[in-house]
Amino acid sequence: MTIDLEKLAAVPSPIPPRSAEVERGVADSVAYLGSDAALHSIERDPYWPKWNSPWWHMLLLHELGEARQIPSRTSAAMAARIDRLLHLFPIHPSDAPGADTQRDSACHCALGTMYPVLAACGIDVERTLPWVKPWFVRYQMADGGLNCDNTAYLQTGECPSSMVGTVAPLEAMLLGGAGASEQRAFATRAGGFLIDRALIHDSRTVHNAEERGAAVAWRALTFPRFYFYDVLRGLAALVRWAEATEQRLPEAAAATVVNALVERWPDGVVRVERQAHAGMTTILPTADRSPSPRAQASTFPLLDAVSRLGEPSEALTRQWSEARAGLLRLARAGRLVT
């Protein structure tokens, strides 16, 4: 299958205006992140609870292009608190004896999503968190993917990589270009993973059979992304990968997604089709670190305002426009190949 480049080039590139509700939501999140309550929440736990703690406010502001509004003391506190997490992904019980792996360790998609946020806040993340990029290299699987389920690394005879666990680390590793040799090798293999999956295919493994159900939803675009995957996010990462690494991009790897998006959004305006965050539960951090039951995850005004089904999405529309422009650049350079 090939991409209809004429149709692709003919799609307009409008940016939907922000509603007053979204603007109020941005101001509300910025105010919260500047509060002592936000700093106390980060100190107690940098990640939990979903979806209404500083982590998620910061991610969403970044996805909207508003990371510059995140107060510097908050982004600095987040970086410092992440640095106090385990600098490894526990796979065996002996890796971190006595640790609470859900509270004391990050996962690949968590680090992959927060890394660009901190960078956009002006933090030198490679200096402040020098262990994060080597982490991605260390836990890359044989097929170029990663998996945030630590038991996936104990499997023999199959490679149960995850699209969700791979795309955010790849985005982080592509910041500023392909980088050093280890970083470039990681990006090359992770890009190959997305190509092999053609952005739409699930894992064929027994261990990661759950992904087969999840993949049905990937073609419905979601916002905010947080750590979630959809085909536009994968396409944007793959186009960025091809440009940053100067690799050739096989049309067949992207054509199904690109042609479907051209047909679905002929006016260039992308609308929210899925709320991937809806219905989730969360851990509730406790002051004494005692176990807590999972509870229904809560939301916040900005999250509610930008995730309404059927509404035009400024961020998704911009990403689709940038991906189209990147594909056309690759085509002109002779690097979009059949």
pTM metric for this prediction = 0.96
Kind of pairing between the strands at 295-296 and 336-337: unpaired
User: What's the pLDDT at 228?
Assistant: 98
User: What's the pLDDT at 99?
Assistant: 87
User: What's the pLDDT at 230?
Assistant: 98
Q: What is the pLDDT of residues 14-38, one digit of tens each?
A: 999 999 999 999 999 999 999 999 9
User: What's the pLDDT at 98?
Assistant: 86
The C-alpha atoms of residue 195 and residue 107 are separated, in whole angstroms, by 23
User: What's the pLDDT at 293?
Assistant: 78
User: What's the pLDDT at 179?
Assistant: 61
User: What's the pLDDT at 181?
Assistant: 86
Enumerate residue ranges in the chain where pLDDT < 50. Answer: none
User: What's the pLDDT at 286?
Assistant: 82
